[in-house]
Amino acid sequence: MGMTITEKILAAHACKESVRPGDNIWVDVDVLMTHDVCGPGTFAIFKKQFGENAKVWDRDKVVIIPDHFIFTKDTHANRNIDILRQFVKEQSLPHYFDVGTDRYKGVCHLALAQEGFNRPGEVLFGTDSHTSTSGAFGMFSTGIGNTDAAFILGTGKLWVKVPESMCFEFTGKFPEHVMAKDVILNVIGDIGVDGATYRAMEWRGDAIMSLSMEERMTLCNMAIEAGGKNGIIEADDVTMDYVRQRTDAPYKIYKSDDDAGYFFKKKYNASEMEPIVAKPHSPDNKAKVSDCVDVRLDRAYIGSCTGGKLTDFIAAARLLKGKKVKIDTFIVPATREVEQDLHKEKIGNETLVDIFKNAGAYLGDPSCAACLGGPKDTFGRAADNQVVVSTTNRNFPGRMGSKQSHVYLASPYTAAASALTGHITNPAEFIYN
């Protein structure tokens, strides 16, 4: 029997000819990423286990990106940044993108791609559950805890159980008003938040391969919302074009064998996809947007690693251009690069920034912001019993701030359309009229 992409990558990094699901193997790590939430704990464990004066296994393979609780006056959050800076100084680490400097990037998952750390065939671990985002580049990428990250810091290796693979194939063409966010919410609704537990979610089919890199990142980003170990998409010309613009490092492309074994396979007709929301309080609480038009909203939020990419904002701006929002609407670019692009990218004679400002939206600094709730002064944080439509990835009680708030997960198209009406709205009403 052949192997899947995930199995081939893990086998290569374990120096084995082949592996099978359930095998336990030592894997050589290409990149380790951590941030301001988990970095301090990781560094403390590393020093405890390897010694106060121990050095990381490879300075060039450690990437530290503060992004979660940064634009705040909270003393505890700011203390975390101080710990990052101290560790970077002690270790002379080159890949640290400090907040408040010209090197600051923003949300780690998009920053990794933009800075050339996402390369086909490699293994990337990060102390964040949405590290699965990088699987869009045909690499094995997954989130880990502080202890595992500390072990990697000291050794460059990790003990990994090879996951079973699931295959989600989309054929045909997605409707114009359907985005990747609708696709992943539909799949999570089908299989449940535990439907892919410790399994690789492999995406394939002509409809998937027609998507941009940013849309592919959205699909892999939310693999964890189904319990997935990783999300992955075979690298192609679209992938290579993106990577070549950002790094000249070598890489290797792996493809699943025709006779590879899968735990589960499902085919979808892309043309039958509709805009989807995940109702409170779970990403698998799926509903068609057209069935939720009676849901009144207090605010809209467009941002995060899931919904804060340039593609996401182009979609939102397309609907908001020349109109006014009826509810408080927050725009949060994922990274500085995206923020800069908002000032450059135009629809007609207006930049995206101008479109958002003229529509009455509020613009925040690049960061995770309210996606993780955060301190009370976090931009866009939900309050009281507000009902929110959001392009973020989770909607359990308190995720975006108040435990009394109600969050509907949606695509940028749906979020923008809903901001214009004040209730959950099918973007087709604006796109085709």
For residues 182-212, one letter each, b for 16 or more C-beta atoms within 10 angstroms of the residue's C-beta and e for the rest, the string is bbbbbbbbebebebbeebbbbbbbebbbebe
Show the domain range for 47. Answer: 5-268
Q: Are residues 283 and 414 in the same domain?
A: yes
Give CA–CA dist 175/185, Å, rounded: 16
Instruction: Find how far residue 402's CA is from the centre of its chain.
Output: 23
For residues 267-283, one letter each, b for 16 or more C-beta atoms within 10 angstroms of the residue's C-beta and e for the rest, the string is ebebeebebbbbbbbbb
pLDDT tens digits for 194-238? 999 999 999 999 999 999 999 999 999 999 999 999 999 999 999
Q: What CATH number does the domain containing 415 carry? A: 3.30.499.10
CA angle 49, 54, 57 (to 5 degrees): 95
Give CA–CA dist 178/155, Å, rounded: 44
pTM: 0.98
Residue 61 CA: distances (Å) to CA of 57, 240, 291, 307, 429: 8, 21, 47, 27, 47
Tally of structural domains, the chain: 2
pLDDT tens digits for 333-361? 999 999 999 999 999 999 999 999 999 99
Q: In what order do the strands lie in the sheet with 264-269?
A: 230-233, 199-204, 164-171, 264-269
**Residues across the chain:** 433
Q: Are residues 385 and 330 in the same domain?
A: yes
Instruction: Find how far residue 317's CA is from the centre of its chain.
Output: 21
Average pLDDT over all residues of the chain: 97
Give CA–CA dist 72/53, Å, rounded: 32
Which of these three, 268, 295, 330, is where a domain ends? 268
Q: Are residues 284 and 218 in the same domain?
A: no
What pLDDT does residue 433 have? 78
Residues 371/392, Cβ–Cβ less than 8 Å: yes
Residues 115/246, Cβ–Cβ less than 8 Å: yes
The Cβ of residue 118 has, within 10 Å, a number of other Cβ atoms equal to: 29
Mean pLDDT on 171-185 = 98
What pLDDT does residue 261 have? 97
Query: Is the confidence at residue 116, as pLDDT, over 90?
Result: yes
Q: Are residues 73 and 139 in the same domain?
A: yes
Give CA–CA dist 128/120, Å, rounded: 20
Query: Is the confidence at residue 399, as pLDDT, over 90?
Result: yes
Mean pLDDT on 108-136 = 98
Beta-bridge partner residues of 407: 388
What pLDDT does residue 1 have? 85
Q: Are residues 116 and 168 in the same domain?
A: yes
pLDDT tier for residue 60 given thresholds of 50, 70 and 90:
very high
What pLDDT does residue 38 have? 98
Give CA–CA dist 162/143, Å, rounded: 15
pLDDT tens digits for 405-433? 999 999 999 999 999 999 999 999 999 97
Q: Are residues 264 and 298 in the same domain?
A: no
pLDDT tens digits for 319-338? 999 999 999 999 999 999 99
Which of these three, 221, 240, 268, is where a domain ends? 268
What pLDDT does residue 202 have? 98
What pLDDT does residue 77 have? 86
pLDDT tens digits for 235-248? 999 999 999 999 99
Residues 211/234, Cβ–Cβ less than 8 Å: no
What pLDDT does residue 156 have? 98
Which of these three, 268, 301, 329, is where a domain ends? 268
Beta-bridge partner residues of 33: 63, 126
